[in-house]
Amino acid sequence: MTEIISAEDDIVIRGVMVRDVVALHGLCKELGYDTPATPLPKRLIDIVFDDNQAMYVAELDDVDGRGVIGFVHVFARYAVEIEPCAQIQALVVSERARRRGVAEKLIKAVEAWARLRGLGWMSLYCTTTRDAAHAFYPSLGFEAAAEATRFNKQLD
């Protein structure tokens, strides 16, 4: 999955690689996710080798050098009550790279991935406290569909 999807301006969209682990961990922490670094390489390998999932990174090549500035993780979601969709699990763009079209380029990569699999729609969840994201997603054609509370249960 290391193919280059898009290369416009100084931003390259490509498939994720295990070497991106440190950058991905930093981006998760920047957005407030409490993601331990240790299991990330295995998770990435699981995603890369699962045909129902994809992960793309955005790299910036500028005066500060080349570096990962964002990523998106998507999977094909199948459920009894709805048509299959492309479920965006995570979309993160570094604060230093926001408002440069990075998220839009990552979403376009997901759209292409979804279309190749015959998925007719995309979905994502966004924490209610992320006001900027709630203002941004409609500009890409997303519509707010529901308010919900997520419940978690830890398994032994």
The letter for the amino acid at 11 is: I
Domain definitions of the chain by residue range: 4-140
In this predicted structure, what is the pLDDT of residue 35?
79
Task: Tokens for 130, please give them.
Answer: 């992320």
What are the tens digits of pLDDT across the range 99-143? 889 999 999 999 999 999 999 999 988 666 555 566 666 667 667
Residues contacting residue 52 through CB under 8 Å, at least 6 positions apart: 75, 76
| CATH topology (fold) of 4-140 | Aminopeptidase (3.40.630)
